[in-house]
């Protein structure tokens, strides 16, 4: 199974260079995400945009397969990648700025998806955890009677690329999924998780 790691962001809000290469505890964020998928038995493939040449260099130096999309947007780049690579089976999609992701979380998501039997699976985290981490959620939806925020990981059926897919909404109560790095406060929250005993 593949994991399409969307890593095309310029990081303009943080103004610290290419966002996937932003260092958390002295390692690029994308390293944590790709290693978590590898350890879970899922092959990462970095979906890049023209805005991130150094991220492409990092991927090549670290043996991560890349696909260069047009950079039209998150969903558009995923759709383009699935179409151009002719992916006809389920595939993970993930942002590259959730450095606290673990292999256990990934295997939990995959098991829930397989048990649900739907074409797609979206992963959510309680909004309260995001607020505790110092984030102000931009989008909140009720999932399992809880105010929840999308964490940036999904599974899609590649055979139905571009179509509306029946979806399971999976709520995972983990602070590690609540840290999606977009601000200096998010960087500090990620450091706290890594440095906590």
List domains and CATH numbers for the chain.
Answer: 2-195 (3.90.550.10)
pLDDT at 60 over 80: yes
pLDDT at 2 over 80: yes
Mapped onto helix, strand or coil, the DSSP state of residue 87 is coil
Residue 176, token pair as written in the block: 């590690």
Q: How far apart are CA 141 and CA 110, in angstroms?
A: 22
Question: To the nearest whole percent, how much of the chain has pLDDT over 90?
Answer: 87
Residues 141-176 pLDDT 10s: 999 999 999 999 999 999 999 999 999 999 999 999
Task: Say what the pLDDT of residue 176 is.
Answer: 95
Task: Say what the pLDDT of residue 137 is.
Answer: 84
Does residue 102 contact residue 175 with C-beta atoms inside 8 Å? no
Give strand pairing partners of 95.
Answer: 6
Task: Say what the pLDDT of residue 30 is.
Answer: 97
Task: Say what the pLDDT of residue 47 is.
Answer: 97
58 C-beta neighbours (distance < 10 Å), count = 21
63 C-beta neighbours (distance < 10 Å), count = 9
Question: What's the DSSP call for residue 16?
Answer: S
Does residue 166 contact residue 133 with C-beta atoms inside 8 Å? no
State the pTM of this model.
Answer: 0.94
127 C-beta neighbours (distance < 10 Å), count = 21
Does residue 113 contact residue 46 with C-beta atoms inside 8 Å? no
Among the residue ranges 18-22, 90-94, 103-107, 111-115, the one predicted with the least confidence is: 18-22
pLDDT at 10 over 80: no
192 C-beta neighbours (distance < 10 Å), count = 14
pLDDT at 85 over 80: yes
């Amino acid at each position: 199974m593949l994991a399409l790691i969307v890593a095309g962001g310029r990081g303009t809000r943080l103004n610290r260079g290419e966002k996937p290469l932003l260092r958390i505890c002295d390692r690029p964020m994308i390293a944590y995400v790709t290693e978590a998928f590898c350890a879970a038995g899922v092959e990462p493939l970095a979906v890049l945009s023209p805005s991130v040449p150094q991220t492409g260099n990092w991927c090549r130096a670290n043996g991560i397969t890349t696909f260069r999309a047009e950079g039209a947007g998150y969903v558009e780049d995923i759709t383009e990648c699935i179409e151009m690579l002719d992916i006809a089976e389920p595939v993970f999609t993930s942002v590259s700025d959730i450095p606290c992701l673990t292999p256990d979380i990934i295997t939990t998501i995959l098991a829930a998806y397989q048990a649900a039997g739907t074409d797609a699976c979206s992963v959510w985290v309680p909004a309260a955890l995001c607020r505790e981490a110092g984030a102000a959620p931009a989008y909140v939806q009720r999932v399992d009677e809880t105010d929840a925020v999308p964490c940036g990981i999904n599974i899609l059926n590649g055979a139905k690329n571009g179509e509306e897919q029946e979806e399971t909404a999976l709520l995972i109560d983990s602070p590690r999924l609540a840290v999606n790095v977009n601000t200096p406060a998010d960087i500090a929250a990620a450091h706290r998780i890594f440095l906590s005993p």
